[in-house]
Structure 1
Amino acid sequence: MQKQHSIFKTWIPEKFIMPLLVIALFPQVMILTVFSMNSTFTASFLDIDVDDIQFLFSIAYATIVCGMFIHIRFFQYFNIRNYLLFMNLLNIVVLFCLTLTTNTQLIFILRLIQGPACLFEGCILVPIIMAKLRTENSKMIAYSFLYVILLTGDKFTTALVKFAIEHYNHNMIVYTIISFHILTLIIYALVFNHGRLFPKKPMYQLGLGGIFLITIALISAVYVLVYGKRYYWFESSRINFALGMFLFFSGLFILHQRYAKRVLFHFSVLKSERVILGLIMFFCFYMLRSCMGNIYNVMNVVWHWQWEYILKIQFFNVAGVLTGVFTSYLLMRNKTDFKYIFIVGFTFLSMSMLWFSYLFVPDVRVLAVVPALYLQGLGTGMLMTPLVMYIISRVDPSLSGSAAHAGVSIRFWTNTIGFSIMQNSLLYLTTKHQYYLTSNLDLSNTIFQNEWEPIFNKYTATHLYNESVHLTSAVIKSKIYNHSLLISNIEIFRTLFVFSVIVIFLIIIYRPVSQLIIKR
């Protein structure tokens, strides 16, 4: 960045600019980590239905995907200082409005605004930080730093939300984020001048029609995937209507892009072998990550660990992520073949899936859980940045934006689809095992008698006969549910282990097989 075209005020010492930019990025990352919080885990202490909270998270992420279509045009039209100040103020207003209302429809609208507003601010700061690094590995360093925060920030955010709920109210976490935005507002006003990085381009042919079409399509898809279980899928007219909306508006978007003078997304990027392979691996990666909510659910429901304790346990996973991201950065800096990084990363994930599958027993020691959490974090950290770099590194510069957009889109889809698959798989398997276990409830069954009598005798000492029968039945039903939950998770995690082994095998054989086919 040349001095004569500097976007920073001259009185700011050069050495202070980078730390100030990182601080300015922090509130945007806080909002993004709120969208990445584990919905099952968060819903448990916010006393909100898990489907509702996942829906709010997903629509915010959907609008981020849609906002990426237009943010570069805003970037080129407004000078950086005014643009950042406006987006920051917009974020503050939206956050403050969220503290004033409990109306679901209004919160829905505010989330629609918050997603792209957060994106527009963060997407300017990240490339500026990359430019200030001035090293050949600046992109890898910036992405590694960003994904460390995104992969671990949800743990810190969850802990902050939990603390705020217990000691103050749910608005306190929002006030905290607002305070960071006010600090960022001051930084923008003091650090940036009215300079530009690029010549000013007029705001025309923005493709707002296409953005509207894809926004409706994505929100409809989120509704189907999140609420399908609640409304018994295609037995419900509202699910069928939402699916129809998704298909209709998706089709219109594709037609719009085919005939538009200025396309929003270059579908030709999907002709790139690296992009397709990267997106497939991203999908597999997020499917393996989607099961972590099951672990924390078992910790609370079956093992009866306190949430404060679970929050602390999560930081072993954070340690794994930090190790994995740092290791992947060193490997990429040393020009290690992506193939070997992917094999190692998916191997760590497969090991964690298998390890977790042996932990689903009525009681377990903490020391048995820690290695699995660390391995899962290690595999996650090893894969995240390399997958992104693999997708965008060799794409034609004119298509790099579409490649990055495809990566963000696949993250949105896999996050939502993964939630849906886990919720429905757990419901189906738990119901099935509950049915089988309940069918064995027979007074003549010795095992049932051994379970019933101690509990019944305990209650008869302090309760009437009918009350004792009712209370004992409730305890037995709870035990049956817990056992069903454990068995279901064993099946899920072993299935994911097999899935990850298949992914590793395909990564190993893909290059030799493809070369063999080409030679023929």
Structure 2
Amino acid sequence: METLPIFKRWVPEWFIRATLFIVLMPGLFLLGLYAGNVNETVGYYGIEPADVQFSILVYYVALASFFSLEQRLVSYFAAKHYFLLGLLLTILINLALYHVRQSHILFVLRFFQGICISGIIATSMNLIFSRMRTERVRIMGYTVFYGLLLVSAPLSSLVVSWALQYLEFNALYMLMIYMQLPGAILLLLIMNHVRLKRHIPLYQVEWISFVLMVPALLMWAYMMVYGQQENGLDSPRIWFCLLGSLALATLFILRQRSLKRPYINLSVFKSSSFVLGLLILLVFYVCRGALGLSSTYFATVLKMDPIHVSELMLVNMAGIAVGSLIVSRFVILKKSLRLILLTGFAFLGIFHVWMYSLFSNQAEPVYYVIPLFLQGLGAATLMVPIINFYVSAVPASISSSASAVGILVRFTGFSLSMGILNFTRLFSKSLHYHRLQDEVTATNPYTLQRLAQYRETLMHQGMAGDQASLAASKLLSQTVDLQTQLRYSMDYYLIVAAVIGVTMLAIALVPYLRTKLLFTRQPPIPF
């Protein structure tokens, strides 16, 4: 008997790929829904910017923790039914978010939104890679997927910034629903009722490990977002999160070691190449997180609105597209992995050093075009080779565990970058602020000259003398804040450039890394 194909025979291949692309993009958009429009999110929900960061990490926690459990569900449901279930739940959650304005309910809904979206993305990924049977095509598939992942945040920011010019904030959730429906309808029409994997009944599902992992990751996320704000270890909440996450992580590890079919097979860590790949991935994600500081600089110092910031980031997306094309060619030709990594980190290093020299309170956006392009080029050059390297370093039988650990490390790197930015922002800005305040005194002739300039300008605009004096003092204070932000940004980019330099020296000179940084085989499906 002939096996029923996944898609109906009359559907052309290009239409299948276009449909899968339309299905995949809304799910990727949701990860960066709030990132580029923090002020609008803060204003709508009446929350702090830190709460916006936490909502992003809550969504990421759901994606990272549910991956292994989701693999069992994919094996139980037919692909069409599982996709439809995830889609319906996502629509219901977006409808709930449309009406909700309480922050605690927002966090809960964002978590379940992440779980539902992971099912849609997993189904789409399985469908995409079921169409790719040759190594060359699969490599191209990896680069396209991770290219989409890299551009999803800036592209989402662009779409959201444009939409907010015409819509209320909560209308974004309806927009997400409308974006999902066309691809979903097309996919349901062209798919047959088939399974992508062998049917496995839902018995002995390791839900306990999932329950242990979720609060551990949420506590880690809380520390990264609110740690510095609550004075670190001086806060009982931070101590509770630290001890709680360590205890839950310990219980999780002990349980995996005792299970015959663990949630995550810890034998993946027996491969030194796998561990090395994870370390490089962690460094990459921490360094890549500094890009958000550039967006903040464009918005706060150069006073660019979200639309213009997003339009400037189109250059970064162009760099990602070009980098994806180049790196796919390198991987197909089996070029040296060390050379690829050195090239990618070199692009990132040039970006940070160049931006360090460009930070100023007055600048033209065109100055930042080439550095942003190089950042995208570097990120795309590194992403696929690193993930291919660590997943291919373990046996195929446990590659799903390697993928699960990789997602956890990406979450850790993303949240760690956020935590480092939060810590250094308060520490460095406080340090520079006090230094500048010591110099900006009533006896400093430069201070008096600047105040006189401000006062004269305001009086020429029709302001009364006493009011102009008060306004001049406020303008001077704003100038101090502006310089503090600039010094902090310069310090952070210089530190990241130094970290990249050390990483490149280690990759280039350490003999152990020379023997380990080699491609072995192509992994089955990248995550």
TM-score computed with the length of structure 1 as normaliser: 0.93
Q: Residue 57 of structure 1 corresponds to which residue in structure 2?
A: 56
2:320 alignment partner in structure 1: 321
The aligned residue for residue 37 of structure 2 is 42
AA partner of residue 477 (structure 1): S
Q: Which of 261-270 and 211-220 deviates more?
A: 261-270
Query: Residue 253 in 1 paired to residue 252 in 2?
Result: yes
Measure, in 2, the Cα distance between the counterparts of 1:273 and 1:512.
Answer: 11
The Cα shift of 1:513 comes to 7.0
Q: Is the 8 A contact 1:130 1:138 kept in 2?
A: no
Structure 1: any 5+ residue segments left out of the alignment?
none
Segment drifting more, 494-503 vs 466-475: 466-475
TM-score calculated relative to the size of structure 2: 0.92
| SS at structure 1 position matched to 2:358 | coil
Shift of residue 405 of structure 1? 1.1
1:433-484 superposed Cα distances (whole Å, 9 cap, x missing partner): 1101111223332211221211123345644554333211111111111111
2:37·2:306 contact (CA, 8 Å) conserved in 1?
Answer: no
Aligned residue in 2 for 1:470: 470
Task: Give the aligned partner of residue 334 of structure 1.
Answer: 333
Q: Distance in 2 between the 1:173 and 1:262 partners?
A: 41
Give the Cα separation in 2 of the matches to 1:511 and 1:173: 52
- The structural deviation recorded for 1:46 is 3.2
Partner of residue 261, structure 2: 262
Mark the CA change 1:515 to 1:250 in structure 2 (over 3 Å): closer, same or farther: closer
CA contact (8 A) 1:131 1:138 kept: no
Aligned-pair CA distance for 1:162: 1.5
Q: RMSD over aligned Cα, in angstroms?
A: 2.0
- Whole-angstrom distance in 1 between the partners of 2:394 and 2:322: 29
Q: What's the CA shift string for 1:82-117, capped at 9, x where partnerless? A: 111111111111111110111222222211111121
Which structure 2 residues correspond to residues 53-452 of structure 1 after superposition, within 5 A?
A: 53-452=52-451
1:20 is aligned to 2:5 = no
SS in 1 for 2:239: helix
Give the match's secondary structure for 2:304.
coil
* Closer, same or farther: CA 394–221 of 1 in aligned 2, 3 Å: closer
**CA separation in 2, counterparts of 1:11 and 1:465?**
79
AA matched with 1:55: F
Structure 1 residues 450 and 319 mapped into 2: Cα distance closer, same or farther (>3 Å)? same
CA-to-aligned-CA distance 1:131-177 (integer Å, 9 cap, x gap): 21332223322221111111112122112211222211113322222
- Mapped pair 1:487 → 2:487: yes
Q: How has the CA–CA distance of structure 1 residues 171 and 515 changed in structure 2, closer, same or farther, with 3 Å as cutoff?
A: closer
Deviates more, 1:118-127 or 1:498-507: 118-127
* CA–CA separation in structure 2 for the residues paired with 1:30 and 1:360: 29
- State how far apart, in whole Å, the 2-side matches of 1:79 and 1:308 are: 41
The sequence identity of aligned pairs, in percent, is 24
The whole-number CA distance in structure 2 between the counterparts of 1:442 and 1:104 is 42
C-alpha displacement of 1:15: 5.2
SS of the equivalent of 1:424 reads helix
SS at match of 2:362: coil
| Whole-Å separation in 1 of the counterparts to 2:14 and 2:413 | 40
User: What is the aligned partner in structure 1 of residue 523 from structure 2?
Assistant: none
Is the CA contact 1:224–1:242 (under 8 Å) kept in the aligned structure 2? yes
Q: CA deviation at 1:5?
A: 4.1
Preserved contact between residue 161 and residue 170 of structure 1 (Cα < 8 Å): no
CA distance in 1, matches of 2:88, 2:513: 54
The one-letter code of the counterpart of 2:128 is I
- 8 Å Cα contact 2:75/2:200 also seen in 1: yes
Judging changes above 3 Å, is the alpha-carbon distance between structure 1 residues 480 and 385 closer, same or farther for their aligned structure 2 residues?
same
Which stretch shifts more, 368-377 or 100-109? 100-109
2: CA distance, partners of 1:242 / 1:308:
37
Report the alpha carbon displacement of residue 418 of structure 1 after superposing the two structures with TM: 0.2
One-letter amino acid of the counterpart of residue 140, structure 1: I
Deviation for aligned residue 1:250: 1.4
More moved, 191-200 vs 411-420: 191-200
* Cα distance, 1:251–1:157 mapped onto 2, change above 3 Å: same
Note if contact 1:85-1:188 (Cα within 8 Å) is conserved in structure 2: no
The aligned counterpart of 1:508 is 508
| CA separation of 1:18 and 1:460: change in aligned 2, threshold 3 A | closer
SS at match of 2:295: helix
- C-alpha change, 1:106 and 1:466, in structure 2 (3 Å) is same
Q: Which amino acid aligns with 2:140?
A: I
Q: Work out the number of aligned pairs and report it.
A: 511
SS of residue paired to 1:198 = coil
Task: Please give the alpha-carbon distance, in whole angstroms, between the structure 2 residues aligned to 1:391 and 1:299.
Answer: 36
How far apart in 2 are the matches of 1:451 and 1:260? 70
